[in-house]
Amino acid sequence: MLPGIIRSAVASDASALYEIRRDAICVLASRGMPEEMAERWASSRTLAWVQTIIKERDVWVFEADTVVAASVSVSADTIDGLYTLPLYEQRGVASRLLAFVETQMRGRGLLAARAGDRLECRSLLSAKGI
């Protein structure tokens, strides 16, 4: 298991989270969709949007050796964003973030989580039985 910590995202993480989202979509999502479509999706959000997400939602990051390697965002009972840097793919990072979120949601009295409308989020959550 990759050593690292999970912590709340802070404003200074915005640039890293923007790049994680972009890289995850351009590299990982493009494996299952046309590259042009992945590029449009990756470009559909701005740094300002990420800054707003950090302020308005619960956002946690997985940090490995001072590198923000992945993030997950939650609105109420919906996991609406889950992105991992391609370098950290298949190393259990997203699974650890999801387990953390599950614990947080249970602590709030929520018995179930919903996946947002993004395919990558739905597929991983489905694989985890969420």
The letter for the amino acid at 42 is A
* CATH code of the domain containing 100: 3.40.630.30
- Is 130 a member of any domain? no
CA angle, 19 then 60 then 25, to 5° = 30
- Is 71 a member of any domain? yes
In the chain, the number of structural domains is: 1
- Is 105 a member of any domain? yes
Give the residue numbers spanning the domain of 67: 5-123
Chain mean pLDDT for the chain: 85
107 vs 82 pLDDT, higher one = 82
- Sequence-ordered alpha helix ranges (H) in the chain: 14-23, 35-42, 47-56, 93-107, 119-127
Asked if residues 98 and 83 have their Cβ atoms less than 8 Å apart, the reply is: no
What does pTM read for this prediction?
0.82
- Grade residue 110 by pLDDT with cuts at 50, 70 and 90: low
- Is 129 a member of any domain? no
Q: What is the pLDDT of residue 70?
A: 97
